Structure 1
Amino acid sequence: MMDRLLQRFERILDPFEDEPRPQADGVYRTGHLRPLPDDTNAFIWHFANQAKGPLIGLLIVGGLTGGVEALLFTGVGWLVDALGTSTPQTLLADHFWLLAGLLFLTLIGRAALLFVSSVLEEQVISPSFYNRIRWQSYRRLMEQAYTFFQNDFGGRLGQKVQQVGAATGDFVVTILQTFWGFVTFIILTTTILGSIDARMAIVLAIWVAGYVWIVRNLLPKIRKFGRASADARSIVSGRVVDSFTNILSVKLFDSARREDAFVKDGFVYLVDMTRRSTRAITEVRTIVALLNGFMMAGVGVIATLGWRDGAVTAGGVATALGLVLRLNQMSGWMMFNINGLVRNYGTIQDAVATITRIPTLVDAADATPLVAREGQIRFDAVTFHYGKGGGVISNLDIDIKSGEKVGLVGRSGAGKTTLVNLLLRLYDLEGGRITIDGQDISAVTQDSLRAAIGVVTQDTSLLHRSIRDNIAYGRPDADDAAIALAARRASADGFIAGLRDPKGRSGFDAHVGERGIKLSGGQRQRIAIARVLLKDAPILVLDEATSALDSEVEAAIQDNFTRMMEGKTVIAIAHRLSTIAAMDRLLVMDKGAIVEDGSHEQLLAQGGLYASLWRRQSGGFLFSDADDEEKSAAE
């Protein structure tokens, strides 16, 4: 019964709500999510505003909790006075309502407030509100351009998404529940002590002023180091994840333990920032202890003197001492919470700087889905320099007919992969335009553009999910029969049948590890080929698609590759020229320009760069100019 009741509260907030809703035409457009505020206070308010009802409830409960705390200690004073004015036989009759009220407040009122507070925090806010912040932050990062992720650690970005949800949620909850309850307790305590003896209220007012001074002048130092510590934790996380992700390279090449030194450098920075923060914390705690000592001693002396002079009752002394002792406990605990507030604020500041960046590559406001029926591709005066102002690609024109199979040839750095990345709109052009079936790719949605292009790259990384999920990633509605057929056509069914992961999952259910590390390079490549076969897009891009395969496996899937390319427009990049010599047409690139265009036979007959590259091959691979010069010198 309790579970059903709590589940109703858990549905108050949707943990995955975001803005805006899908467009009226049902088309999702990258970059059309509402930007998150880049000011820390505005960022916090943006999310707090999405949960107004529960947070207002938490504010009310926090205030009532502080009031009940003060009332209970005041009730103890009343009870002491009642004991002094009644006999055991007449106590109940003389003070029935006082005793009943205190009993109700202790047994029912306080417990009810704690229940409501717990429900609001644990059922409504903690699971849903915290996760909504993480979800919206994650979606904003996913809208960033490809270059954004090239310039940062994946682990660092992931940690920021996790941290900002917890830090923002904790900050808001602490302010509304803990901090507000503390303020309420102070206000009521000052009022009650002032009614007993005005001098007690003056002592408390001095204590409050000192407390505010500490918060205003000493805590900013903690906040400064808290933000630095948050950034240091992100750096350490990024470096550690980078080391673990590239563990094979570390094992093979880092015999001098340079990686340990690199990670240790991050830890050294983290320890230094943490020590600076903890020094400031110790300074604050010491001053608070002295301030609290003054407050307790002052109120205690005034209460005792008042009792001696007959101005304060024994119950008044009990109330005063009980309140200031409780205030002493709460102030130390509250300073800890304020320190947590400052740290959380620093963490939010650190995360906001990354999460709220406006995406640099977005769909146009009126972008429409690409309709790729023929697969005709045109590069029209395309210019792109990675923002460097020179080099790479300048004023490039290419026409690729529908269904044409085109091979891109050239030395490393000639611009082949850049050309493919521009077609996929992983970067925006600096000049010119690219069209598919006459549609400018900058005017269509990125999702529809990439849905129309199947890509197999040389550096294949898989998701740490099952073989089935990885193959079906480009076509999630595919059934098991279609997935199995794609695996068979990619000659992957043989090794898939023998796979088994540490959790006992086997075959298509086996998980492949981070980036597919549990598979060999050739096995990962075959999974990638199966994924593209299943996707069955009208345009096919092969960037060293068979580079990780041995000759026997390559020959086994070559026929399937040929069938896969039927009726599709194909752009293929390969350093092993024998794999693309049979293409309809070869484009030879050098320094970002097309220097030769023709079939394999035509280019050999021209005796130009392609013919030179062909002659330099040994075992079907291209050598650099330096390799060729060394070979000539040896001869």
Structure 2
Amino acid sequence: MHAFFERLVQVLSFTDIVRPPSRTAAFYRHFLDPVRGLLILTLVVSGLASFAELALFAFMGVLVDWVNTTAPADFLRLYGWELAGMAFVAAVLRPVLVLWSRGLINLTLVPALTNDIRWHNYRWVLRQSLSFFQNDFAGRIAQKVMQTGPAVRESVVNVLDGVWFLVTYLVGTLGLFAALDLWLLVPVVAWVAAYAAVIWIMVPPVRQKSAALSEATSALSGRVVDSYTNILSVKLFAHAEREDAFAHAGLSRHLEAFRVMMRAIFDMTVTLTVLNGVLLVATTGLAVWLWQAGDVTAGAIAMTTGLIIRLTQMSGWILRTITALFENVGTVQNGMETIARPHTVTDRPQAVDLAVTQGDIRFEGVSFHYGKEGGVVEALDLHVRPGEKVGVVGRSGAGKSTLVNLLLRFYDVEAGRILIDGQDVRDVTQTSLRAAIGVVTQDTALLHRSIADNIRYGRPDATQAEVERAAALAKADGFIADLRDPRGRSGYDVQVGERGVKLSGGQRQRIAIARVILKDAPILVLDEATSALDSEVEAAIQEQLTVLMEGKTVIAIAHRLSTIASLDRLVVMDEGCIIEEGRHEDLIARGGLYARLWERQSGGFLGDG
């Protein structure tokens, strides 16, 4: 039975990646349209289940009248078939309808909606630009992706379990009361009007309060994750108390947002409790008065009183459900602000795969300013010939790393263009562009997976032998063989921890180099590739990097000038412009900025640009 319901919806499919709509109704439609048929079926089944329950209340009133007017000896003879029919409704029909209703909701819709929405939102957000992630907490982004799926799901369940049940129950109740006596409708209609007023006036503000609480929750999660992710810095600077204060501020804002929302819910609960008491007294009193006047039977009193007690019991739950509906809509709206943003760096409609035949790279009149903040490149021209090894040096903020970011199209140039073998990087797919460029950066962050998985990230179809060969070329095989983790895994199976925290900086760097060796891309970018290595290991790897660079076009950024002095050409940048270029000896003889940096350095390093 479980499998039957679970197979009704196919989820987690690799469909086209589509931006979620930025308007609330459209956002819901986007994710609910694929299960529209199941939603309609669930509404029908749930409606029938509520009518089956109403039938039991109606029968209770009839039963009271039969008992008052029939001798016990004749009771089964006169009403046996009717009793059997209602027994069937109570013991078979209603349980089956409830089972189907709960199966469709709990086994089909709830798991499917939750994780399918998370899946599609995750894929869309994963392809956002680098600046999207640099401008936010990773924990906050993850929280919004994770909470939006359950919020949409709960909204749907709130409608199916609360709003729809209330509607069907009210329609049935009004119909039964009208059949008895139209006067019985008066207190119920008045109660419905007052109940609707409560929802209209008091519930919508909860949506805004819920959105504020959701934002506070995401911000709090971001602060906690930020502290834990940077635990080494916290320990090194002995700032546990400072992080306490950072988290305390987030918790305080979350607590206040929580209290504001709970005050509103408390006020609604008090109001509804008063309304329910008035409804019960008015309906029961009216039924007794009508019975005294001979307009209704005693069974009618039993039926109306039972229905009103059931209705008032349901009303608190349904109000909480409707409140939760608005809360979840608020959560969805809050998540949409992050999830539904358009991609700022996108493939053009007619983008083709990059074809690297030679590795010729040209920067033509390139300008970029990071939105007037950060590094700057101004009208820069640079030609890196096929197979040429070019080193880029300069002071901190000169624009060195910006060149790499633009080449990889993490950002789009504001003016000019970048060509690879005559192809504008904006005209090719980002996937093919980055597949053609191997990069080793100064700040190497590994995935919290095994050593082998991290190396194989360079080429996912690589064999274990190829992974081990790359590790050997990167001089990483020695320490890998000695690795063990708390779960008893060893060597290439060891998990490296979040961002590779279980490894030293030099070990992470060697894994990163092995990854690029395995990738074997025709263009190679080295952004302080050996900065985290000690001199002995660096000397050993330099030889392998020389082998790795053979036949490739190379752009190498270095603070330690001795590591790039032997390259074909050196480019010196300052304030976003190229001010010198040539071979090491020529630049020294020229006596310019490079010569001063070389003289000053003596094994030191410069800040990154």
Pair in the same fold by TM > 0.5: yes
Partner of residue 513 from structure 1, selected from 481, 493, 497: 497
Secondary structure of 1:375's aligned partner = coil
Deviation at 1:305?
A: 2.1
Give matches, 1:3-402, under 5 Å.
Answer: 6-17=2-13, 20=16, 33-255=17-239, 257-388=241-372, 392-402=376-386
Verify the 8 A CA contact 1:59 1:177 in the aligned structure 2.
no
For 1:485, the equivalent position in structure 2 comes to 469
Verify the 8 A CA contact 1:9 1:124 in the aligned structure 2.
yes
Amino acid at match of 1:66: S
Q: Decide which moves more: 443-452 or 253-262.
A: 253-262
1:476 matched to 2:476? The reply is no
Verify the 8 A CA contact 2:588 2:595 in the aligned structure 1.
yes
- Distance of 1:484 and 1:205 partners within structure 2: 77
1:616 matched to 2:600? The reply is yes
Verify the 8 A CA contact 1:159 1:234 in the aligned structure 2.
yes
1:430 matched to 2:414? The reply is yes
Deviation at 1:576?
A: 0.6
Verify the 8 A CA contact 1:64 1:181 in the aligned structure 2.
no
- Distance of 1:256 and 1:492 partners within structure 2: 34
Q: Decide which moves more: 384-393 or 433-442.
A: 384-393
Amino acid at match of 2:177: L
- Distance of 1:123 and 1:373 partners within structure 2: 53
Gapped runs of 5+ residues in structure 2? none
- Per the normalisation by structure 2, the TM-score is 0.97
Return closer, same or farther for 1:457/1:39 CA change in 2, 3 Å cut-off.
same
Q: Could you report, residue by residue, the CA deviation over 1:352-392 in whole angstroms, capped at 9, with x for unpaired residues?
A: 11111111110001000001121110101111111229971
Amino acid at match of 2:544: N
Deviation at 1:18?
A: 6.4
Amino acid at match of 2:10: D
Return closer, same or farther for 1:52/1:213 CA change in 2, 3 Å cut-off.
same
For 1:633, the equivalent position in structure 2 comes to none
Return closer, same or farther for 1:568/1:391 CA change in 2, 3 Å cut-off.
closer
Deviation at 1:254?
A: 4.6
Amino acid at match of 1:587: V
- Per the normalisation by structure 1, the TM-score is 0.93
Secondary structure of 1:386's aligned partner = coil
Verify the 8 A CA contact 2:375 2:397 in the aligned structure 1.
no
- Distance of 1:82 and 1:387 partners within structure 2: 83
- Distance of 2:372 and 2:15 partners within structure 1: 35
Deviation at 1:595?
A: 0.9
- Distance of 2:158 and 2:314 partners within structure 1: 14
- Distance of 1:599 and 1:7 partners within structure 2: 70
Give matches, 1:450-599, under 5 Å.
Answer: 450-599=434-583
Secondary structure of 2:555's aligned partner = strand
Amino acid at match of 1:223: R
- Distance of 1:380 and 1:233 partners within structure 2: 46
Q: Could you report, residue by residue, the CA deviation over 1:117-166 in whole angstroms, capped at 9, with x for unpaired residues?
A: 12211222122222121111112212211101111111111111111100
Deviation at 1:607?
A: 1.3
Secondary structure of 1:152's aligned partner = coil
Verify the 8 A CA contact 1:616 1:622 in the aligned structure 2.
no
Deviation at 1:209?
A: 0.2
Gapped runs of 5+ residues in structure 1? 21-32, 625-635
Secondary structure of 1:239's aligned partner = helix
Secondary structure of 1:597's aligned partner = strand
Return closer, same or farther for 1:178/1:390 CA change in 2, 3 Å cut-off.
closer
Number of positions where the alignment pairs a residue of Structure 1 with one of Structure 2? 608
Verify the 8 A CA contact 1:62 1:178 in the aligned structure 2.
no
- Distance of 1:475 and 1:390 partners within structure 2: 33
Return closer, same or farther for 1:296/1:477 CA change in 2, 3 Å cut-off.
same
Amino acid at match of 1:440: D
- Distance of 2:282 and 2:152 partners within structure 1: 38
Verify the 8 A CA contact 1:392 1:591 in the aligned structure 2.
yes
Deviation at 1:17?
A: 3.8
- Distance of 1:82 and 1:503 partners within structure 2: 72
Amino acid at match of 1:482: E
Amino acid at match of 1:255: H
- Distance of 2:330 and 2:596 partners within structure 1: 60
Deviation at 1:19?
A: 5.3
- Distance of 2:268 and 2:141 partners within structure 1: 33
For 1:627, the equivalent position in structure 2 comes to none
- Distance of 2:495 and 2:375 partners within structure 1: 42
Q: Could you report, residue by residue, the CA deviation over 1:200-258 in whole angstroms, capped at 9, with x for unpaired residues?
A: 21100000000000000011222221111011001100111011101111122253722
Verify the 8 A CA contact 1:616 1:623 in the aligned structure 2.
no
Q: Could you report, residue by residue, the CA deviation over 1:330-372 in whole angstroms, capped at 9, with x for unpaired residues?
A: 0011011111111101101101111111111100010000011
Q: Decide which moves more: 191-200 or 214-223.
A: 191-200
Secondary structure of 1:525's aligned partner = helix
Amino acid at match of 2:325: L
- Distance of 1:538 and 1:322 partners within structure 2: 80
Return closer, same or farther for 1:96/1:384 CA change in 2, 3 Å cut-off.
same
Return closer, same or farther for 1:598/1:163 CA change in 2, 3 Å cut-off.
same
Q: Decide which moves more: 519-528 or 95-104.
A: 95-104
Verify the 8 A CA contact 1:191 1:201 in the aligned structure 2.
no
For 1:414, the equivalent position in structure 2 comes to 398
Amino acid at match of 1:591: E
- Distance of 1:160 and 1:151 partners within structure 2: 15
Deviation at 1:264?
A: 1.1
- Distance of 1:126 and 1:389 partners within structure 2: 45
Return closer, same or farther for 1:88/1:497 CA change in 2, 3 Å cut-off.
farther
- Distance of 1:150 and 1:214 partners within structure 2: 44
Amino acid at match of 1:435: L
Amino acid at match of 2:7: R
Q: Decide which moves more: 426-435 or 488-497.
A: 488-497
- Distance of 2:36 and 2:374 partners within structure 1: 52
Secondary structure of 1:257's aligned partner = helix
Q: Decide which moves more: 134-143 or 377-386.
A: 134-143
Deviation at 1:67?
A: 1.2
- Distance of 1:223 and 1:35 partners within structure 2: 24
CA RMSD of aligned residues (A): 1.6
- Distance of 1:389 and 1:421 partners within structure 2: 15
